[in-house]
Amino acid sequence: MHRRSPLFPLSSPWRGTLAAATALPGLLLLPLGCASSPGAAPREEAGPPPLQARRKWGLVIHGGAGVMSRDTLTPEREAEVRARLTESLQAGHAILAKGGTSLDAVGAAIRVLEDSPLFNAGKGAVFTHDGRNELDASLMDGRTLAAGAVAGLRHVKNPIDLARRVMERSPHVMMVGEGAEAFAREQGLELVSPEYFRTEERWEQLQRALEKEKAAGGKAPATGVSPRPEDGKFGTVGAVALDQAGNLAAGTSTGGMTNKRYGRVGDSPIIGAGTYANAHCAVSGTGHGEFFIRHTVARDICARVEYLRVPLQEAADTVVRDVLVKAGGEGGVIALDAQGAVAMPFNSPGMYRGYMREDGQPFVAIFQE
């Protein structure tokens, strides 16, 4: 068992002073941080901290929210989704278990989801009105408040990796379009042809959206109206992590909105809206991007935890189930605080989500379970 070191080493020049001091009647020297009172029992040497006092750490992920029901989601598709969510958790958790950083864990978890056609991010990105794929992502370090974000990407295989390069290797927070991709080339990140992102499922979603638009006269939605996704799902992926050193991080990645126009950018790459992390809280959101931006959803949750001192679950519930609902916004968030508490509220029928704590047991869910 580890024993407390002496207050001063035996070779210390204070040794003689200590000897003289201990000879004085009525003077009792105690190790730093100790207290005593007359008649107090001798203090036993402290053993390892109790289980509940040990530092907690873990990872939470999401794969989008929206209209999901057991009637529309086949057993085969549900099994695939749950398998990829579990793989994402395992990738991030493996890093945390080895003492890795929350930033590394968030990146690893999101890359798994970006590489899967099941989610609207990376490989599974939806199509714009012009038949292109435009990807956005952001990442934030809760320890330093450093952040990186990218938007309008067309060739970067893993946007979350470019967001980190922006954060760590540039003086900026956000880069967009061709400029962001030029930076990606300078950084040696993997670039792919536009065909890499094409999937028939997403292409068919665009065709259905175009047909509906044509039937409505081909008019864009009125000002202030945020269109609902064609498939009823807000396809964004994200992760938040707390590492063994107690540092939080958050990241989010998306393919945007089916049939979007005019270079529209949602909340996913907006720090404070779809992504935020500080020393108290980390949040990644998925839902009506315009509403998440207007109400700075991610930052609002963390501010309630930091300034109002309310529990994480209460803060997240208030913003998602009250503030957003009253505003007409739909979606959900994943959140993690510095004590390891997890919150995953959503106001839509379902949300792909999951978490893994120190015990290494993955939990994944889709519906109101």
Residue 280 has pLDDT above 50, yes or no: yes
Catalytic residue at 236?
yes
What residues form DSSP beta bridges with 276? 283
What are the start-end ranges of the H helices in the chain?
15-23, 75-97, 102-114, 159-169, 177-186, 200-215, 289-294, 297-307, 312-318, 324-327
Lowest mean pLDDT among 61-70, 222-231, 351-360: 222-231
- The verdict on whether residue 223 carries a ligand-binding annotation is no
Cα–Cα distance for residue pair 68/45, rounded to 1 Å: 56
Output DSSP code: residue 141.
E
Residue 41 has pLDDT above 80, yes or no: no
- The verdict on whether residue 179 carries a ligand-binding annotation is no
> Counting Cβ atoms within 10 Å, is residue 36 exposed (0-12), middle (13-18) or buried (19+)?
exposed
- The verdict on whether residue 267 carries a ligand-binding annotation is yes
Residue 309 has pLDDT above 60, yes or no: yes
Residue 242 has pLDDT above 90, yes or no: yes
pLDDT at 234: 64
Output DSSP code: residue 273.
T
* Overall average pLDDT of the 268-297 stretch: 97
pLDDT at 223: 47
Residue 10 has pLDDT above 50, yes or no: no
Cα–Cα distance for residue pair 7/311, rounded to 1 Å: 40
148, 139 Cβ separation under 8 angstroms? yes
- Percent share of the chain, pLDDT over 90: 75
pLDDT-based confidence at 124, cuts 50/70/90?
very high
pLDDT at 127: 96
Residue 20 has pLDDT above 60, yes or no: no
Residue 19 has pLDDT above 70, yes or no: no
pLDDT at 220: 58
Phi, psi (degrees; rounded to nearest 5) at 98: -90, 5
- The verdict on whether residue 111 carries a ligand-binding annotation is no
> Counting Cβ atoms within 10 Å, is residue 278 exposed (0-12), middle (13-18) or buried (19+)?
buried
Cα–Cα distance for residue pair 308/297, rounded to 1 Å: 16
- Percent share of the chain, pLDDT over 70: 80
pLDDT-based confidence at 38, cuts 50/70/90?
very low
What residues form DSSP beta bridges with 350? 66
61-358 maps to which CATH number?
Answer: 3.60.20.30
- The verdict on whether residue 266 carries a ligand-binding annotation is yes
68, 331 Cβ separation under 8 angstroms? no
Cα–Cα distance for residue pair 236/284, rounded to 1 Å: 9
Active-site hit among 101, 128, 236, 296:
236
pLDDT at 47: 44
User: Tens digits of per-residue pLDDT, 58-113?
Assistant: 999 999 998 676 777 888 999 999 999 999 999 999 999 999 999 999 999 999 99
- The verdict on whether residue 287 carries a ligand-binding annotation is yes
pLDDT-based confidence at 18, cuts 50/70/90?
very low
- The verdict on whether residue 322 carries a ligand-binding annotation is no
Q: Which residues contact 324 (CB under 8 A, 6 or more apart)?
A: 287, 288, 291, 292, 295, 297, 330, 331, 347
* Overall average pLDDT of the 33-38 stretch: 37
* Overall average pLDDT of the 165-173 stretch: 98
* Overall average pLDDT of the 108-122 stretch: 97
User: Tens digits of per-residue pLDDT, 181-203?
Assistant: 999 999 999 999 999 999 999 99
pLDDT at 6: 37
265, 254 Cβ separation under 8 angstroms? no
pLDDT averaged over the chain? 85
User: Tens digits of per-residue pLDDT, 132-165?
Assistant: 999 999 999 999 999 999 999 999 999 999 999 9
Q: What is the dihedral of CA 267, 63, 165, 56, to 10 degrees?
A: 110
- The verdict on whether residue 264 carries a ligand-binding annotation is yes
pLDDT at 55: 78
Stronger pLDDT, 224 or 313, i.e. the higher one: 313
For residue 290, which amino acid is it? E
Cα–Cα distance for residue pair 114/121, rounded to 1 Å: 5
pLDDT at 235: 77
- What is the layout of strands, in order, in the sheet containing 281-287? 275-277, 281-287, 331-337, 342-343
Domain edges within the chain: 61-358
Cα–Cα distance for residue pair 198/271, rounded to 1 Å: 28
